[in-house]
Chains A and B, each alone.
Chain A
Amino acid sequence: MNLAALPLLDQAVLVLAAMALFSAFALLAQSRLLSAIHVFAWQGALVAAVAALTGAASGDVNLYISAAITFVLKVLLIPWMLHRLVRRLALERQADPLPYPALTLLAGAAIVVFADWVAAPVAQFEHSATRNVIAISLAIVLLGMLTMVVRRQALAQVLGFMAIENGLFLAAVASTHGMPLVVELGVAFDVLVAMVLFGVFFLQIKDSIDTLDIDRLSQLASSVEQDEDTEPPR
C-alpha cells in the first residue's frame, strides 16, 4: 500500500500502463476497423510514453531513442499504412462485431487475472519499482492473442498481432529498462516488414476470393463446390 512512496514518474508509468491495458480491451471489443486502428495508435502512443517516462526516471538515453522509434512506427507509420490498406480494400464502413461480446470481455478480464497470477513469482525477483507492469504487459500480450482468436476480419487480426508486440515492448521497458538497441531496431524493422507483407498478402487474398473474412478460408474453393454435389465421386 505504499504507492505514495513511489516517485511521481513511476506513478505516471503505472497509470499509463493501466491505460494501455484498457486500450487492449478496446481493441478487442472495437468492431469498426478504422476505430480499431485509432485505438491501436493510442496504445502505441501510451507505450511510447511509458518508455519516455522510464527513460526520464532512469536517465537512460537509449530509452528515449526506443520511445521515438515506437512513436514513429506504431503511432504514425503503421496506422497510416493500415489506413491506406483499409481504404484500398474499401473496408471503411465494414463492421465486424464480436460473436459474444460480453463473454469475450469477461474472458479478457479472466486473462488479466491469469496474467497477474503468472507474473507474481517473476515480479518477486524484480527490484524495480514498476515491476507490476510485467503482469499488465503479459495481459496485453494475451489479450492481443485473444483478439487474433476471436476476430474474423484479417486486418483486425493484424492489429492483435501488433498489440502483442506492444505488450512485449512494454514488458521489456518496464522490467529491464528496455532491450539492447540492436534488438530494438531489429524488432522494429521486423514489425515494419511484417506490415508490408501483410498488406501485399491481403491485397492478394482480396483479389482471389474477394473477402478478408478468415472463416471463408477454412475450406478450399473446390471442396465448397464438391459439397454441393450429393455424392462426390471417388
Chain B
Amino acid sequence: MPFGINPKAKLVKNLFAADIELKPTRDGYGLGLVDAGKKDAKVVVLCADLSESTRSHWFKKEFPARFVQIGVSEQSMAAIASGLALAGKVPFISSYAGFSPGRNWEQIRTTITLNDANVKVAGAHAGVSVGPDGATHQMTEDLALMRTLPNMVVLAPCDMQETKKATVAVAGVYGPHYLRFGREKSPVFTTPATPFKIGRAEIFRFGRDVTIVACGILVHEALKAAEELRKKGIEAEVIDSHTIKPLDAKTILASIAKTGCVVTVEEHQVDGGLGAAVAEALGAARPVPLERIGVQNRYGESGEPIMLLEAFGLTSPYIAMAARRATARKAGKKVSEVPDYMAAAERRAVELKKQVISEALSRAPREWGGKKGNIKDLIKKSK
C-alpha cells in the first residue's frame, strides 16, 4: 500500500486548501435529526432550552409534534427520554455537553444505560473551541463520563458530514448512544461517499512510521500534521476513530503493529477519553510508545476558538511534534522529560495572552482610563 491519503476514504479534493468548506459539526446533528425523523416516525427530539444552539430547531420546524421542549431541566430530560423510550419511541436529548451529560450523569446511568433504554444523548459545545463563553461551557470531560457506562456507545464524529451520518446511524440501532459535537465552524473534509459504520475506525491516510488516532474536529489537524511530517520524511498513518466505545482496537492495533508507535488526538482531557481508550488497548495487547494530544488536565478559558486550539496545543504543529517524539522513543532515543509539545503550547499560550490583552488595553477609551477617544468611538464600525 502506498503512503498518503486513502483513496477509498473519498475525502474532499481540496483537503488542505484555503477554500475548504467550513461548517459546524452541530449542523450535521440538525440535518441528521431531520433525516432520521423522516425515516422513522418514532424519532422524537427533546431539548433543554437550547434548540437553536444545538440545531434541534430544524427538527422542530419539520416535525413540531415530535419536538419536546423541556426547559432548563437536563436531569428530568434524561429520565423523561427514558420514559419515552420505554414507551417505544426513539428519543434524542439535546443540550450542551457540559449540562448533558455533564449534569445528568446519574439519570443517564440509572434510567438510560442500566435500563438499556433506547435513548440518544447529544452533547453540543464540546471542547475548548467553544471559544469566548469560557470554561463553564467548554466540555472536556464528557467522553470520560460516557465511556465508563456499560451499554453506552460513544461517538465523536470528525466533521459536519460525518456527524450527520452518525446521527442517522444511531437512530437506526437499538440502545443508548452518546454523540459529541462542537460549536465552531470546522473543515468539512469527508464526503457523502466516505465510509461510515458505528464501531469501525476509518484509515484516512496510510503511513509507516507512526499511527495517529484522532476523533472529532481534530482529525483534520491530524491529517495536516501528517502532511507536515511527510516533508520531514515521516509517514504517518491517520485513523479517524469516531467511535470511542467500543473502540475499534483491531484496526488500531493492526496499524500499530506496522508503525510501532502512536499519537492520540482529541479535544478532551488527556485522561479518560480516546487517549485513555487507546492506552488501555495497547496495555492489554501491545505496549508501544504513546503520546497523547489533548487538554492537559486543566480547564478551558475564554478566547477565540482557533487561538484556543493553538494555545492548548491541539493543532497540527503540536501533533507533528508528538509524532516525532513517539518515533524517537521507538528508536530508543533520549527525549525530554516534559514533552516538547506540552512545553511549546504553554509558552505559546503565555505569548498569545500578552498580545491579546495589551492590544485590547491599548485601545481603551478615555472614559475607561485609556488614551483613545470615547466609548462612542470605540463602538464605531472599524475602518
Determine if chain A interacts with chain B.
no
